[in-house]
Copies of this chain bind each other. A is one copy, B any other.
Amino acid sequence: MDTTSRIERSLGQALSLAAGAEGPPKLQAAMRYAVFPGGARIRPRLCLAVARACGEDQPALTDAAAAAIELLHCASLVHDDLPCFDDAATRRGRAAVHKAFGEPVAVLAGDALIVLAFQSLAVAAGGTPMRLAPLLNTVARAAGAPHGISAGQAWESEAVIALEHYQRAKTGALFAAATAAGAGAAGALDAGWHRLGERIGEAYQIADDIRDVVSSEAEIGKPVGQDRHLARPNAVGALGLRGAIGRLERLVNEAVEDLPRCPGADALRKHIRSEANRLLPRRLARPAA
Protein backbone atom coordinates (compact mmCIF):
# COMPACT_ATOMS: atom_id res chain seq x y z
CA MET A 1 0.00 0.00 0.00
CA ASP A 2 1.44 3.42 -0.91
CA THR A 3 2.07 6.00 1.78
CA THR A 4 -0.83 8.26 0.85
CA SER A 5 -3.39 5.43 0.98
CA ARG A 6 -1.91 4.24 4.23
CA ILE A 7 -2.28 7.66 5.86
CA GLU A 8 -5.82 8.19 4.60
CA ARG A 9 -6.79 4.73 5.79
CA SER A 10 -5.36 5.27 9.27
CA LEU A 11 -7.12 8.64 9.57
CA GLY A 12 -10.36 6.98 8.47
CA GLN A 13 -9.90 4.27 11.08
CA ALA A 14 -9.29 6.86 13.77
CA LEU A 15 -12.38 8.84 12.76
CA SER A 16 -14.50 5.70 12.87
CA LEU A 17 -13.78 5.58 16.63
CA ALA A 18 -15.55 8.93 16.92
CA ALA A 19 -18.51 7.96 14.73
CA GLY A 20 -21.76 6.36 15.79
CA ALA A 21 -25.49 6.58 15.30
CA GLU A 22 -25.87 7.79 18.90
CA GLY A 23 -23.59 10.79 18.35
CA PRO A 24 -24.57 14.27 17.16
CA PRO A 25 -24.42 14.23 13.32
CA LYS A 26 -23.00 17.75 12.81
CA LEU A 27 -20.05 17.19 15.11
CA GLN A 28 -19.14 13.96 13.36
CA ALA A 29 -19.49 15.59 9.94
CA ALA A 30 -17.37 18.56 11.03
CA MET A 31 -14.61 16.28 12.33
CA ARG A 32 -14.54 14.43 9.03
CA TYR A 33 -14.64 17.68 7.07
CA ALA A 34 -11.66 18.98 9.08
CA VAL A 35 -9.61 15.90 8.18
CA PHE A 36 -10.73 15.00 4.62
CA PRO A 37 -9.63 15.92 2.05
CA GLY A 38 -6.34 16.81 3.66
CA GLY A 39 -3.44 19.02 2.76
CA ALA A 40 -0.01 17.62 1.94
CA ARG A 41 -0.08 15.34 5.02
CA ILE A 42 3.55 16.28 5.44
CA ARG A 43 3.71 15.42 9.16
CA PRO A 44 2.28 11.89 8.94
CA ARG A 45 4.41 11.24 5.82
CA LEU A 46 7.45 12.22 7.84
CA CYS A 47 6.33 10.05 10.75
CA LEU A 48 5.96 7.01 8.49
CA ALA A 49 9.28 7.71 6.75
CA VAL A 50 11.11 7.79 10.09
CA ALA A 51 9.36 4.63 11.32
CA ARG A 52 10.39 2.83 8.14
CA ALA A 53 13.96 4.10 8.50
CA CYS A 54 13.99 2.70 12.06
CA GLY A 55 12.95 -0.76 10.86
CA GLU A 56 9.24 -0.43 11.62
CA ASP A 57 7.94 -3.57 13.35
CA GLN A 58 4.49 -2.47 14.56
CA PRO A 59 2.73 -0.99 11.52
CA ALA A 60 -0.60 -0.47 13.32
CA LEU A 61 1.13 1.58 15.99
CA THR A 62 3.00 3.63 13.38
CA ASP A 63 -0.29 4.26 11.61
CA ALA A 64 -1.89 5.44 14.83
CA ALA A 65 1.06 7.70 15.63
CA ALA A 66 0.95 9.27 12.19
CA ALA A 67 -2.82 9.70 12.45
CA ALA A 68 -2.53 11.22 15.94
CA ILE A 69 -0.07 13.83 14.70
CA GLU A 70 -2.29 14.73 11.75
CA LEU A 71 -5.45 14.84 13.87
CA LEU A 72 -3.78 17.30 16.24
CA HIS A 73 -2.67 19.37 13.26
CA CYS A 74 -6.21 19.42 11.84
CA ALA A 75 -7.64 20.32 15.27
CA SER A 76 -5.26 23.25 15.54
CA LEU A 77 -6.27 24.49 12.09
CA VAL A 78 -9.95 24.35 13.02
CA HIS A 79 -9.33 26.40 16.15
CA ASP A 80 -6.83 28.79 14.50
CA ASP A 81 -9.46 29.68 11.88
CA LEU A 82 -12.02 30.73 14.54
CA PRO A 83 -13.19 34.36 14.60
CA CYS A 84 -11.22 35.06 17.81
CA PHE A 85 -7.96 34.02 16.10
CA ASP A 86 -7.38 34.39 12.34
CA ASP A 87 -11.08 34.67 11.49
CA ALA A 88 -10.31 32.82 8.25
CA ALA A 89 -13.28 32.19 5.97
CA THR A 90 -11.48 29.59 3.87
CA ARG A 91 -9.06 26.72 4.38
CA ARG A 92 -7.70 24.33 1.75
CA GLY A 93 -9.78 26.16 -0.86
CA ARG A 94 -13.20 25.82 0.76
CA ALA A 95 -15.18 27.16 3.70
CA ALA A 96 -13.39 26.90 7.05
CA VAL A 97 -15.07 24.57 9.57
CA HIS A 98 -16.62 27.41 11.59
CA LYS A 99 -18.11 28.84 8.39
CA ALA A 100 -19.47 25.49 7.24
CA PHE A 101 -20.77 24.20 10.61
CA GLY A 102 -20.95 27.24 12.90
CA GLU A 103 -18.61 28.32 15.64
CA PRO A 104 -19.84 26.05 18.47
CA VAL A 105 -19.43 22.90 16.39
CA ALA A 106 -16.00 24.09 15.23
CA VAL A 107 -14.79 24.51 18.81
CA LEU A 108 -16.10 21.07 19.73
CA ALA A 109 -14.76 19.40 16.59
CA GLY A 110 -11.29 20.66 17.51
CA ASP A 111 -11.71 19.39 21.06
CA ALA A 112 -12.93 15.99 19.94
CA LEU A 113 -10.10 15.66 17.38
CA ILE A 114 -7.56 16.29 20.15
CA VAL A 115 -9.18 13.57 22.25
CA LEU A 116 -9.28 11.24 19.25
CA ALA A 117 -5.54 11.61 18.68
CA PHE A 118 -4.82 10.10 22.08
CA GLN A 119 -7.58 7.55 21.88
CA SER A 120 -6.30 6.15 18.59
CA LEU A 121 -2.85 5.67 20.13
CA ALA A 122 -4.36 3.77 23.04
CA VAL A 123 -6.41 1.55 20.74
CA ALA A 124 -3.37 0.67 18.61
CA ALA A 125 -1.01 -0.01 21.50
CA GLY A 126 -2.70 -3.23 22.63
CA GLY A 127 0.11 -5.44 21.36
CA THR A 128 2.99 -3.24 22.58
CA PRO A 129 1.88 -1.69 25.87
CA MET A 130 5.44 -0.69 26.82
CA ARG A 131 5.57 1.75 23.91
CA LEU A 132 2.36 3.60 24.75
CA ALA A 133 3.45 5.87 27.62
CA PRO A 134 6.54 7.31 25.88
CA LEU A 135 4.63 7.73 22.60
CA LEU A 136 1.74 9.42 24.32
CA ASN A 137 4.10 11.72 26.17
CA THR A 138 5.84 12.67 22.95
CA VAL A 139 2.57 13.51 21.27
CA ALA A 140 1.10 15.32 24.28
CA ARG A 141 4.14 17.53 24.75
CA ALA A 142 3.81 18.62 21.13
CA ALA A 143 0.17 19.54 21.55
CA GLY A 144 -0.19 21.27 24.91
CA ALA A 145 1.72 23.64 27.16
CA PRO A 146 4.36 24.89 27.70
CA HIS A 147 6.00 23.80 24.40
CA GLY A 148 3.25 22.47 22.15
CA ILE A 149 0.99 23.97 19.51
CA SER A 150 -1.51 25.36 22.04
CA ALA A 151 1.37 27.24 23.66
CA GLY A 152 2.65 28.36 20.25
CA GLN A 153 -0.71 29.84 19.34
CA ALA A 154 -1.06 31.40 22.81
CA TRP A 155 2.14 33.41 22.30
CA GLU A 156 0.09 35.53 19.89
CA SER A 157 -1.92 36.74 22.90
CA GLU A 158 1.18 37.99 24.72
CA ALA A 159 2.24 41.65 24.61
CA VAL A 160 5.84 40.57 24.03
CA ILE A 161 6.42 37.45 21.91
CA ALA A 162 9.43 35.27 22.66
CA LEU A 163 10.02 34.63 18.97
CA GLU A 164 12.12 31.49 19.27
CA HIS A 165 9.74 29.81 21.72
CA TYR A 166 6.77 30.93 19.65
CA GLN A 167 7.96 29.38 16.40
CA ARG A 168 9.38 26.28 18.00
CA ALA A 169 6.07 25.63 19.74
CA LYS A 170 3.69 26.69 17.00
CA THR A 171 5.30 24.80 14.13
CA GLY A 172 8.37 22.93 15.30
CA ALA A 173 6.71 20.95 18.08
CA LEU A 174 4.46 18.87 15.85
CA PHE A 175 7.25 18.11 13.38
CA ALA A 176 9.49 17.06 16.26
CA ALA A 177 6.67 14.84 17.50
CA ALA A 178 6.23 13.39 14.00
CA THR A 179 9.83 12.21 13.85
CA ALA A 180 10.05 11.19 17.53
CA ALA A 181 6.72 9.35 17.37
CA GLY A 182 7.66 7.58 14.14
CA ALA A 183 10.85 6.38 15.81
CA GLY A 184 9.03 5.64 19.09
CA ALA A 185 6.39 3.54 17.36
CA ALA A 186 9.26 1.43 16.00
CA GLY A 187 10.85 1.20 19.44
CA ALA A 188 13.68 3.72 18.78
CA LEU A 189 14.12 6.41 21.43
CA ASP A 190 17.25 8.36 20.35
CA ALA A 191 16.81 12.07 21.17
CA GLY A 192 18.23 12.85 17.73
CA TRP A 193 14.86 11.98 16.20
CA HIS A 194 13.29 14.86 18.05
CA ARG A 195 16.03 17.25 16.91
CA LEU A 196 15.56 16.12 13.32
CA GLY A 197 11.90 17.08 13.47
CA GLU A 198 12.72 20.44 15.02
CA ARG A 199 14.99 21.30 12.10
CA ILE A 200 12.45 20.16 9.54
CA GLY A 201 9.79 22.12 11.39
CA GLU A 202 11.85 25.26 11.28
CA ALA A 203 12.46 24.74 7.56
CA TYR A 204 8.74 24.26 7.08
CA GLN A 205 7.97 27.47 8.97
CA ILE A 206 10.34 29.39 6.73
CA ALA A 207 8.79 27.85 3.62
CA ASP A 208 5.36 28.82 4.95
CA ASP A 209 6.56 32.38 5.51
CA ILE A 210 7.92 32.46 1.94
CA ARG A 211 4.63 31.17 0.52
CA ASP A 212 2.72 33.77 2.52
CA VAL A 213 4.74 36.47 0.75
CA VAL A 214 5.18 35.22 -2.81
CA SER A 215 2.23 32.87 -3.54
CA SER A 216 -1.33 33.52 -4.64
CA GLU A 217 -4.46 32.40 -2.78
CA ALA A 218 -5.34 30.05 -5.67
CA GLU A 219 -1.94 28.38 -5.37
CA ILE A 220 -2.05 27.58 -1.64
CA GLY A 221 -5.80 27.45 -0.98
CA LYS A 222 -5.82 30.05 1.81
CA PRO A 223 -5.46 33.84 1.99
CA VAL A 224 -1.91 35.17 1.47
CA GLY A 225 -0.22 38.17 3.08
CA GLN A 226 -1.70 37.16 6.44
CA ASP A 227 1.52 37.62 8.40
CA ARG A 228 1.82 41.27 7.41
CA HIS A 229 -1.93 41.74 7.82
CA LEU A 230 -1.88 40.23 11.34
CA ALA A 231 1.56 41.68 12.22
CA ARG A 232 3.00 38.20 12.73
CA PRO A 233 6.74 37.50 12.46
CA ASN A 234 7.85 36.30 9.01
CA ALA A 235 11.28 35.01 7.96
CA VAL A 236 11.18 36.86 4.63
CA GLY A 237 10.54 40.09 6.48
CA ALA A 238 13.48 39.36 8.78
CA LEU A 239 15.99 37.84 6.32
CA GLY A 240 14.82 38.88 2.85
CA LEU A 241 13.70 36.32 0.25
CA ARG A 242 17.20 35.09 -0.62
CA GLY A 243 18.19 34.97 3.04
CA ALA A 244 15.10 32.95 3.92
CA ILE A 245 15.68 30.43 1.11
CA GLY A 246 19.33 30.10 2.18
CA ARG A 247 18.36 29.44 5.80
CA LEU A 248 15.82 26.82 4.68
CA GLU A 249 18.44 25.02 2.59
CA ARG A 250 20.94 25.07 5.45
CA LEU A 251 18.37 23.53 7.81
CA VAL A 252 17.58 20.74 5.36
CA ASN A 253 21.27 20.00 4.88
CA GLU A 254 21.85 19.86 8.63
CA ALA A 255 18.86 17.58 9.07
CA VAL A 256 20.11 15.18 6.42
CA GLU A 257 23.71 15.17 7.64
CA ASP A 258 22.89 14.74 11.33
CA LEU A 259 20.47 11.80 11.08
CA PRO A 260 20.47 9.33 14.00
CA ARG A 261 21.91 5.94 13.08
CA CYS A 262 19.20 3.68 11.59
CA PRO A 263 18.90 0.89 9.00
CA GLY A 264 17.02 3.00 6.43
CA ALA A 265 18.98 6.26 6.59
CA ASP A 266 19.49 6.63 2.81
CA ALA A 267 15.82 6.40 1.94
CA LEU A 268 14.97 8.82 4.74
CA ARG A 269 17.49 11.37 3.46
CA LYS A 270 15.90 11.15 0.04
CA HIS A 271 12.46 11.61 1.53
CA ILE A 272 13.52 14.71 3.45
CA ARG A 273 15.11 16.33 0.38
CA SER A 274 12.16 15.61 -1.84
CA GLU A 275 9.63 16.90 0.70
CA ALA A 276 11.70 20.04 1.20
CA ASN A 277 11.48 20.72 -2.50
CA ARG A 278 7.70 20.40 -2.40
CA LEU A 279 7.51 23.10 0.26
CA LEU A 280 8.60 25.98 -1.90
CA PRO A 281 6.48 27.61 -4.61
CA ARG A 282 7.39 25.82 -7.85
CA ARG A 283 9.29 28.70 -9.42
CA LEU A 284 11.61 28.90 -6.38
CA ALA A 285 12.26 25.19 -5.87
CA ARG A 286 15.63 23.80 -6.85
CA PRO A 287 15.42 21.09 -9.55
CA ALA A 288 15.84 17.65 -7.92
CA ALA A 289 19.49 16.52 -8.08
Question: What is the interface of chain A, defined by CB distance below 8 A to chain B?
Answer: 18-20, 22-28, 31, 75, 79, 82, 84-85, 101-105, 107-108, 110-112, 114-116, 118-119, 121-123, 125-126, 129-130, 132-134, 136-137, 140-141, 143-148, 150-151, 153-158, 162, 165, 169
Inter-chain contacts of A26 with B (CB < 8 A): 154, 157-158
Q: How far is the CA of A22 from the CA of B172 in the complex (A)?
A: 14
Inter-chain contacts of A24 with B (CB < 8 A): 145-146, 151, 154-155, 157-158, 162, 165
Determine the residue in chain B with the shortest Cβ distance to A118: B118
- Which of B79, B101, B146 is close to A20, meaning CB atoms less than 8 Å apart? B146
Shortest beta-carbon distance from A100 to chain B in Å: 12
Shortest beta-carbon distance from A221 to chain B in Å: 24
B112 & A150 in contact (Cβ 8 Å cutoff):
yes
Count of chain copies: 2
- Which of B28, B136, B145, B156 is close to A112, meaning CB atoms less than 8 Å apart? B145
- Which of B18, B28, B114, B165 is close to A115, meaning CB atoms less than 8 Å apart? B114
Known pairs A27-B151, A110-B111; list 12 more (Cβ under 8 Å): A22-B147, A24-B154, A26-B154, A26-B158, A75-B111, A111-B150, A112-B150, A112-B154, A114-B115, A119-B137, A123-B133, A129-B129
A22 & B165 in contact (Cβ 8 Å cutoff):
yes
Can you report 19 residue pairs joining A to B where beta carbons are below 8 Å apart?
A22-B162, A24-B162, A27-B150, A79-B107, A79-B108, A79-B111, A104-B153, A104-B154, A104-B157, A111-B114, A112-B143, A112-B150, A114-B115, A116-B140, A121-B136, A122-B140, A126-B133, A129-B129, A132-B133
